[in-house]
Amino acid sequence: MPDEMVHFKANDLVEGLRIDRELGQGAASVVYLAHDPKSRQVYALKHVHRGSSKDDRFLRQAMYEYKVASRLDHPNIRRIHRLDKKARMFVHLTDVFLVMEMLDGVSMDRKLPKTFDDAITIFLQTADALKHMHSRGFVHADMKPNNIMVVTGVAGPISKIIDLGQSCEIGTVKQRIQGTPDYIAPEQVHRRAITERTDVYNLGATMYYVLTGKTVPSALSTRPDALVNRLDDELIPKAPPAVGLNPRIPPKLNELIMHCIEINPEDRPMNMTFVIESLQFILGQVRYRNEQSGSGSSQKPNNASAAGFIYNDGSGGGVKVPDSRAGNGHNGGQAGNGTPGI
């Protein structure tokens, strides 16, 4: 019989932390807001439970996520401070607890940036964090808007990469297809080597969606009558230029995005350094134009016709996305277990 997960209540003491409230739930996990009773430090506590054998992969994923996170040290990657495990009869692993950095923000798919300045700043910070992962020998392999948490900082938005559960060592060939259909790179679908250029593609697909409201054509088909995952790269249709969907996108930014989402990895930027330097140049251009125009604020990244986006010029918002993808975001606790293999 399945072993039901225990849901902790406010004031429960769990792994040395006092539970404040539940933040969210995933397939085999619950995330809580918790604090250290001694230091008063606040954390997000992720509890992954093995209800049955089908949950073993979630336990493995959580442990691997900690392994990767413990090798990283970057301000734009969410920190995982501690991993605790529980086993039945000291043999059978039943529970994993991740003590994570608590983020007071919202995922990028839930609230899109208002201005090009903010959007490019977030892309730039994310690219720098991915470069750091690559320098430590890892690929994120599931970059998408709801894996980018945006925290409001004094000097502007702060990007935080979350959910390292699909990460892998550079050069890994996975046995199962893992990724998110709207952002997955062709080599992930075809089970070829995953490299730095895979993250370049995933980030490019993310930038494309954020600025146009449209996703790029995928090698991974969700239609039962379609060709099996378009195994031939030549069968994958190319995305239309981003600037054709949103004419306000700066030409150099459009050029970079389209370069990043080339179907053949060899045709993409060879590493994140190229992406970072390009984004720095583009951000400089955007800020220079804003200064010259005397507007004092950056352009909005989406025109009114793009995917039903609605401008919100009040103090409370960015552009809203009224479609099904908007419901897949995370709060600061990030309860998801990542996208399972397909």
Residue ranges per structural domain of the chain: 13-101, 106-328
Q: CA angle at residue 65 from 61 to 67, to 5 degrees?
A: 115
Q: Which CATH topology does 106-328 take?
A: Transferase(Phosphotransferase); domain 1 (1.10.510)
Strand partners, 85: 96
pLDDT score recorded for residue 196: 98
CB-based contact 182:212 (threshold 8 Å): no
Lowest-confidence region among 41-55, 161-175, 222-236, 307-321: 307-321
Q: What is the DSSP code (8-state) at residue 115?
A: S
CA distance 323 to 307: 9
What is the percentage of the chain residues whose pLDDT exceeds 70? 80
Determine how β-strand 156-161 pairs with β-strand 105-107: unpaired
> Two tokens at 212?
């146009």
Q: Going by CATH, does the domain composed of 13-101 fall within 3.30.200.20?
A: yes
CA distance 327 to 341: 21
pTM for this entry: 0.84
**DSSP secondary structure, 228-277, as one string:** GGG-SGGGSPPPPPHHHH-TTS-HHHHHHHHHHT-SSGGGS-SSHHHHHH
> Two tokens at 242?
């981003």
pLDDT at 316 over 70: no
CA distance 285 to 7: 51
pLDDT in tens, 46-84: 999 988 888 898 999 999 999 999 999 999 999 999 999
pLDDT score recorded for residue 304: 40
**DSSP secondary structure, 163-188, as one string:** --TT-EETTB--SS--S-TTT--HHH
CA distance 327 to 145: 12
Strand partners, 42: 35
